[in-house]
């Protein structure tokens, strides 16, 4: 199966009249009204800011970024701040260093691309 979100949904992302794609728009802070998140403030690498509002959000930032995002000092009154597990029990990824000379990108990605096994997705990080 196709695992690259942008490839899988490329046509919709490019052509749907209700979809706007912002690249490199980093989530800076949630917009909180009462005890509910009503929006998220984002900033591009060039410094352009925008606020996105919605009834529901899905936060998929990874262990480190999620903790950083939700443990900001100005958010101390939020319900998630009372959860003692937020930001704890982080496990790092296995890392090793090597040198690669990729001569055939397609074959390389066939070997080192995402793998699905027993319902789990494994995603090697090659930097």
- What are the tens digits of pLDDT across the range 5-50? 888 999 999 999 988 888 888 899 899 888 788 999 999 889 999 9
Asked, for residue 113, whether it belongs to a domain, the answer is no
Asked, for residue 99, whether it belongs to a domain, the answer is no
Q: pLDDT tens for residues 62-93?
A: 778 888 888 887 777 777 877 888 877 777 67
User: What does pLDDT average to over the chain?
Assistant: 84
Counting every residue written for the chain, the total comes to 127
Distance CA 49, CA 26 (A): 9
pTM of the entire structure? 0.56
Determine contact, residues 114/123, Cβ cutoff 8 Å. yes
Q: What is the pLDDT of residue 13?
A: 92
Q: Is 15 strand, coil or helix? A: helix
Asked, for residue 110, whether it belongs to a domain, the answer is no
Domain residues for 29? 5-90
Asked, for residue 108, whether it belongs to a domain, the answer is no
Give the count of domains, the chain: 1
Asked, for residue 117, whether it belongs to a domain, the answer is no
Identify the DSSP state of 94: P
Asked, for residue 73, whether it belongs to a domain, the answer is yes
Asked, for residue 100, whether it belongs to a domain, the answer is no
**pLDDT above 70 for 4:** yes
Determine contact, residues 53/38, Cβ cutoff 8 Å. yes
């Amino acid at each position: 199966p196709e695992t690259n979100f942008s490839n899988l949904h490329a046509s919709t992302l490019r052509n749907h009249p209700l979809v706007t794609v912002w690249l490199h728009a980093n989530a800076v802070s949630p917009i909180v009204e009462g005890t509910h998140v009503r929006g998220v403030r984002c900033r591009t690498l060039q410094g352009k800011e925008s606020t996105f509002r919605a009834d529901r959000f899905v936060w998929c930032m990874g262990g480190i970024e999620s903790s950083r995002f939700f443990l900001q000092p100005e958010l101390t009154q939020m319900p998630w701040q009372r959860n003692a597990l937020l930001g704890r029990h982080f496990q790092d990824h296995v890392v090793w260093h090597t040198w690669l000379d990729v001569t055939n990108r397609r074959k390389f990605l066939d070997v080192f691309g995402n793998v699905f096994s027993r319902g789990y997705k494994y995603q090697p990080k090659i930097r």
